[in-house]
Amino acid sequence: MVIRNLFLLCAFSLLVSTFQARAVTQITASVSHNPVTVNESVEFTLSANDNITNNAFDFSVLEKDFRVLGTSISSQTRMVNTTTTRITSFTTRLIPKNTGSFVIPSFEYQGVKSQPIQLNVVQAANAAANQARDIFIESELSQSEVWLQQQVTYTVKLHISNQIQMTSGSLTEPKIEGALVEQQGKDREIDKILNGIRYRLIERSYKITPQRSGDFVIESPLFQAEVADGRRSQYFVNRTKTITRTGDSTQLTVKAIPNDYTGHWLPSEIVMLNDEIQPNQTEFKLGEPITRTLTLTALDVSAEQLPELMTNYPASLKVYPDQADTHSSERDNQIISQRIESAAIVPMQMGEVELPEIKINWWNTKTEKMETTRIPARTITVIANPELQQQSALTNQVPANSPTNTSPAQPSSLVETQIEYVNKPWHLNYLALCFLVLWLTTSLTWIVTSVVKRKKAEQSPEDDQTTRSNNEKLAFSRLLKACKKSDRQAIQQHLPIWVQAFSQDLSVTNMHQAIVKLANNQVEQEIAAMQAAKFAAQGQDWQAGKLSQVLTQLRQENLTSASNTNQLAKLNP
């Protein structure tokens, strides 16, 4: 028994000593080349002489001076006679942010440290003599200072030398915090000669819409490609290598909304408001439909930023609005957005009726002053409609001395009226009937509305609260359905509706106001991701699962807080 225990103890000691012998004793740091040309990538490699965990090193410390593109991990095991050697390598691709001399710090694992590396970053002109740039990126910004939500054009120019044999390549979109980035139009491709070298120039434009004020940095897009490196493998197959290029970062200053500005925030160089009424006249018949079309046009703003054209029509007019049409188009590298609202207006009383003034406040980005675009009030005259009067007379007329259908004679006046009615053109009869139905429908609507208003006036606060709660639940249910389908258009439609019901703030009418009202960073990030995926160069697949989760949690937290407040109010009346 004693011998067995002694044997186990010796075996355990041998195992411990073997494990300690395999512990990491050396970490080596290296770079693929030094010096490095600005906007070109360099590979930084850490190698340890043992198997170590994937999260052994934190490379985020490099983000101050470099753009960290990602890390690949590889391991090797070699056995020579009875000796086993294990090597784990961490290769991180870096792009310097500026020129100069930078120190890649020492990295430590289990008390073992790597040596720091001093990396020199030089301009392309100071690189090796006679070495032309094979691939490089230039970028332009239409304006370096803009107002909040004012769109700015960012143009990327990718130069690829014709001497490069490229098998594949991809270009990411620019990155900026607190802004929506949308690609505009298609890529433009031309040939260009620079310093005697022919390049294929690919030009791509983006519209950047800042959602926050402050100073921001636009990081240039990254271009990654597989190119032939001129060597052949032992199987006579051309080898390829991965190259990464980027351009200079760009500064953008976003100015906040002025304190003295009032109304819906709309920054633009030009804002126009047009009013069209059909038929184009000032005198209309009672019950005769009028079509009114209002068109709001603005420059360099998205269609979603255009406000609703709220109009308070007098009670003598019955209004049947159509769904608003919003769209944007590009012309001469500028975005022209429009919002078109149409409505059928039916005069219900005779006399003069005033269509009220419509005005839109907006911020002139050229003069940096608030301006107001107006449609002045206009007066229309509503006159009697003979068709409605005749139809009313026909409806109310009753035959005299006709007790049964077998009466041998009818009054001549009735016969003449009926003949005249039958001989009238069919479309006039049909129009008169339509006006009659419209009049009856309006009367019924007025009666129902009066009853509903009376019931609402008698409704208790608890009933009113229940109604608001039901409206909010219905709006949130529709929003969740849109999230479940990842339907971007439906989400943009239902999010402001739910926020309006949830916050009981009727001023919330668009996506921006809804995001500001929620004041939640996660919601803002998900909406920005949704917009970015929508306009990604290769059509990224965006899923609304996280957005749905964030909104559900936010709603539950607010409902719980409101419930606790109500309970305290009941306990302490």
Indicate the length of the chain as a whole number.
573
* H or E segment to which residue 344 belongs: strand 334-347
**CATH number of the domain enclosing 101:** 2.60.40
Is 231 inside any structural domain? yes
Same domain, residue pair 280 and 370: yes
Q: Report strand pairing: 66-80 vs 83-96.
A: antiparallel
pLDDT < 50 stretches in the chain: 2, 10, 12-21, 126-132, 394-395, 398-431, 452, 456-457, 459-460, 463, 535-539, 567-573
Is 515 inside any structural domain? yes
pLDDT at 559: 80
pLDDT at 566: 52
Predicted TM-score (pTM) of this structure = 0.54
Residue at a domain's end among 202, 220, 255 = 255
Q: Which domain holds residue 375?
A: 267-383
Nearest by Cα to 179 from 481, 532, 556: 532
How is 105-166 classified by DSSP, letter by letter?
---EETTEEPPPEEEEEE-GGGSSTT---SEEEEEEES-SEEETT--EEEEEEEEEETT--E
Instruction: Give dist(CA 278, CA 289) in Å, integer.
Output: 9
Is 204 inside any structural domain? yes
Is 58 inside any structural domain? yes
Same domain, residue pair 195 and 284: no
For 248, the 3-state DSSP assignment is: coil
Same domain, residue pair 95 and 173: no
Same domain, residue pair 244 and 277: no
Tokens 């999260």 correspond to what residue? 55
Provide the CA 70 distance to its chain's centre, in angstroms: 27
Q: How many CA atoms lie within 13 A of 470 on its CB side?
A: 6
For 227, the 3-state DSSP assignment is: strand
Is 423 inside any structural domain? no
The type of residue at 230 is G
Is residue 218 a contact partner of residue 156, using CB atoms and an 8 Å limit? no
Same domain, residue pair 250 and 271: no
Is 389 inside any structural domain? no
The three-point CA angle 165-167-170 to 5° equals 115
Q: How many domains does the chain have?
A: 4
